[in-house]
């Protein structure tokens, strides 16, 4: 069973500030570019038959800095569409009150945006491409959508992604154990425990 390697894009001004970023095309910060470059040595030893990236500048920039400038753009790797909540922080959204009290994207309304079912449907299409590949696949994507992708890959409800905190410029691996999909590495920072990626 081939492996699915997932990289969340590196830091942007909006991710650093906790602003929900989907359709807004925010570039990497200088620190983000450095962190993205640091991914290269951890990814280079592994052979990938297919490398995919979200079309957003922050994902493509991370892929390029990590040594995968020729990654194939895949619209299904875009971030969860936050609709009217685009650019807002969680405290700002919760400040709306009523239905937004205690809001998270996992359990609150997303007016004008995607439902979790739509994000999960995109994730399933990505997984179809992973399954059809001749070997391991590397995907450069975003925080929330990548968490849904992993939950779906593990045959969990997409809402289980809420339990999978994912930091910028980290590597995660969905592999297998005894013919079952299994999480082999999660939220690994370059320069950390390299054994987690072996």
> Per-domain residue ranges for the chain?
4-80+112-197
- Which of these is catalytic: 9, 20, 142, 144? 9
Q: Give pTM, 2 decimals.
A: 0.95
Beta strands in the chain (DSSP E): 4-8, 50-53, 72-73, 137-141, 171-177, 180-188
Q: Could you give the 3-state DSSP secondary structure of residue 181?
A: strand
Q: Are 127 and 153 in contact (CB under 8 A)?
A: yes
- Which of these is catalytic: 3, 11, 79, 114? 79
Q: What is the DSSP string of 130-159?
A: HHHSSS-EEEEE-HHHHHHHHHHHTT--GG
Per-residue pLDDT of the chain (198 residues; tens, 9 = 90+): 899 999 999 999 999 999 999 999 999 999 999 999 999 999 999 999 999 999 999 999 999 999 999 999 999 999 999 999 999 999 999 999 999 999 999 999 999 999 999 999 999 999 999 999 999 999 999 999 999 999 999 999 999 999 999 999 999 999 999 999 999 999 999 876 555 666
pLDDT at 191: 77
- Distances, alpha carbon 96 to alpha carbons 5, 24, 88, 101, in Å: 37, 22, 11, 8
Residues 6+ apart with CB under 8 A from 39: 7, 10, 62, 65, 66, 169, 171, 190
Q: Would you call 79 a catalytic residue per the annotation?
A: yes
pLDDT in tens, 58-92: 999 999 999 999 999 999 999 999 999 999 999 99
CATH tag for 4-80+112-197 (out of 3.20.20.70, 3.40.50.1240, 3.40.50.1700, 3.90.550.10): 3.40.50.1240
Sign of dihedral through CA atoms 118, 120, 125, 129? positive
Q: Would you call 9 a catalytic residue per the annotation?
A: yes
């Amino acid at each position: 069973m081939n492996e699915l390697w997932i990289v969340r894009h590196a830091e942007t001004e909006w991710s650093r500030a906790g602003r929900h970023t989907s359709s807004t095309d925010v570039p990497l910060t200088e620190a983000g570019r450095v962190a993205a470059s640091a991914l290269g040595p951890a990814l280079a030893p592994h052979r990938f038959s297919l490398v995919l990236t979200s079309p957003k500048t922050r994902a493509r920039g991370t892929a390029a800095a990590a040594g995968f400038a020729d990654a194939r753009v895949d619209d299904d790797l875009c971030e969860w569409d936050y609709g009217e909540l685009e650019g807002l922080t969680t405290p700002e959204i919760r400040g709306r009150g009523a239905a937004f009290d205690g809001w998270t994207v996992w359990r609150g309304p997303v007016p004008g945006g995607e439902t979790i079912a739509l994000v999960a449907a995109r994730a399933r299409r990505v997984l179809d491409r992973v399954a059809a590949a001749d070997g391991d696949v590397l995907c450069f994507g975003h925080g929330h959508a990548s968490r849904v992708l992993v939950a779906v890959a593990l045959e969990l409800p997409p809402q289980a992604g809420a339990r999978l905190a994912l930091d910028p410029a980290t590597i995660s691996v969905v592999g297998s154990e005894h013919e079952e999909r299994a999480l082999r590495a999660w939220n690994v920072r370059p320069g950390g425990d390299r054994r987690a990626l072996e």
